[in-house]
Amino acid sequence: MKQSLHKKPTIVVIGLKGLPGFGGAATVGENIINRLKGEFRFTVLSVETHADKGFELGDVRQIIFKKFPISKLNIFVYYIRCALYVLFCKKHDLVHLHHTDGAFILPLLKLRNRVVLTSHARPQEHVKWSNWVNCFFKINEKIAIRLADTYTAVSKPLQRTYKKHYNREIMYIPNGVDLEAAKLEVHSNNGEPYLLFAAGRIIQSKGLHILLQALRAINFTNKIKIAGNLDQVAEYKKQILELSSGLNVEFLGMIKEKSTLLKLVANAEVFVYPTLYEAMSIMLLEAASVKVPVICSDIPANTAIFSNDELTLFESENVEDLKKKIKYFYEHKDEASLKTHKAFKKLEKSHSWLGIAMQYKVVFEVLMKERS
């Protein structure tokens, strides 16, 4: 029997930065919260650069801090505000902190609460940061390992890395996908067939330049659709625009509406995901959920989920191999279609949001019980 509203245990969620989620950790957090809001009362601490003031999710409370005038310090100040809120406002039963880059506030959070920390990636591994930023990330990781009451990782490779470096037990709780929403998406593309690339933020680690180089090399003439925010890095945007010259490319920008994005993916001939680094890609899971043929890089995070029997893998950063795999797909579409059903079965077994939320429920309840 569910507890009455005022008796629900309360959880503060930090690090999503805003709801609704537009990919990454925010999508993870929103799905966990949505499925556990009947058991716990959630307060999500957000910042106005990432949050929609009109968004509602049942009785979930979203507190939105104003953005900091200096944009480069906006997220750093957001974490400080979160720590002050936890310290000086109403006491809660638990804190769920997403991302290790906010771990520097853990000493303050731990003064009043037990903390679950979910690592979505090791940021120092896949982007070229300045030395002091890299040092900041490494220090945060050490704080997280030492102080988090429960530490979870969204991928097995990430879990193994932490175990190797710190010899601490890390819980593996994967990212998931909304299979019910995926089943609503019907393949109904009556227009020009297209190859699709999609990511939230189009930065170098997503590998779009590798895809465009491969398509240029095979004189690809079919329609190419690219979804995502290309304005993250000016130099990379310039490179992408140069590589797309002469190709039949349509840039769609960031697609925030999940149903719109799923329709776009579902109606593609093939989804190509040449990412150089992921912890666990929700975009890849969503592509598999709508049973579209997928060609993706063979990085550990991808091969930890899917095998070559379930999608088509190519050697990461190898333009020549990607060329071959794209040509092979267009010559063997029936074979690729069979793989999509196997990939979907994998999702049903291990990556439903309900099953993942139940794993977090157990984590939350154990920590609350230990504190009482």
Contact present, 100 and 137 (Cβ < 8 Å): yes
Cα distances (Å, whole numbers) of residue 49 to 30, 62, 123: 17, 14, 21
**Residue 241's CB: how many other CB atoms inside 10 A?**
13
* Residue 154 lies inside a defined structural domain of this protein: yes
**Residue 322's CB: how many other CB atoms inside 10 A?**
27
278 lies in the same domain as 209 = yes
> What tokens does 9 get?
């245990």
Residue 253 has pLDDT above 90, yes or no: yes
Confidence of residue 46 (pLDDT cuts 50, 70, 90): very high
233 lies in the same domain as 345 = yes
Confidence of residue 1 (pLDDT cuts 50, 70, 90): very low
204 lies in the same domain as 246 = yes
Say what the pLDDT of residue 130 is: 75
190 lies in the same domain as 290 = yes
**Residue 308 exposure: Cα atoms within 13 Å on the Cβ side:** 8
DSSP H or E run through 213? helix 208-217
* Residue 116 lies inside a defined structural domain of this protein: yes
> Looking at residues 151-165, what average pLDDT do you find?
93
For the residues of 270-330, what is the DSSP string, one character each?
Answer: EEEE--S--SS-HHHHHHHHTT--EEEE--HHHHTT--TTTSEEE-TT-HHHHHHHHHHHH
* Residue 9 lies inside a defined structural domain of this protein: yes
> What tokens does 33 get?
């919260």
Contact present, 318 and 295 (Cβ < 8 Å): no
90 lies in the same domain as 185 = no
217 lies in the same domain as 284 = yes
* Residue 372 lies inside a defined structural domain of this protein: no
316 lies in the same domain as 358 = no
The pLDDT tens digits of the residues spanning 315-343 come to 999 999 999 999 999 999 999 999 999 99
> Looking at residues 164-190, what average pLDDT do you find?
81
43 lies in the same domain as 87 = yes
162 lies in the same domain as 275 = no
Confidence of residue 276 (pLDDT cuts 50, 70, 90): very high
Report the range of poorest mean pLDDT among 30-39, 220-229, 243-252, 362-371.
362-371
* Residue 172 lies inside a defined structural domain of this protein: yes
Which residue range is the domain that position 309 belongs to? 179-350
* Residue 284 lies inside a defined structural domain of this protein: yes
> Looking at residues 27-44, what average pLDDT do you find?
95
Average pLDDT taken over every residue of the chain:
91
* Residue 307 lies inside a defined structural domain of this protein: yes
Query: For the chain, what is the domain count?
Result: 2
199 lies in the same domain as 79 = no
> Looking at residues 332-357, what average pLDDT do you find?
92
| First-to-last C-alpha distance (Å) of the chain | 21
Query: What CATH number is attached to the domain comprising 44?
Result: 3.40.50.2000
Q: What is the pTM of this model?
A: 0.84
* Residue 147 lies inside a defined structural domain of this protein: yes
155 lies in the same domain as 288 = no
Confidence of residue 127 (pLDDT cuts 50, 70, 90): low
Residue 268 has pLDDT above 60, yes or no: yes
214 lies in the same domain as 75 = no
The pLDDT tens digits of the residues spanning 184-231 come to 665 666 678 999 999 988 999 999 999 999 999 999 999 999 999 999
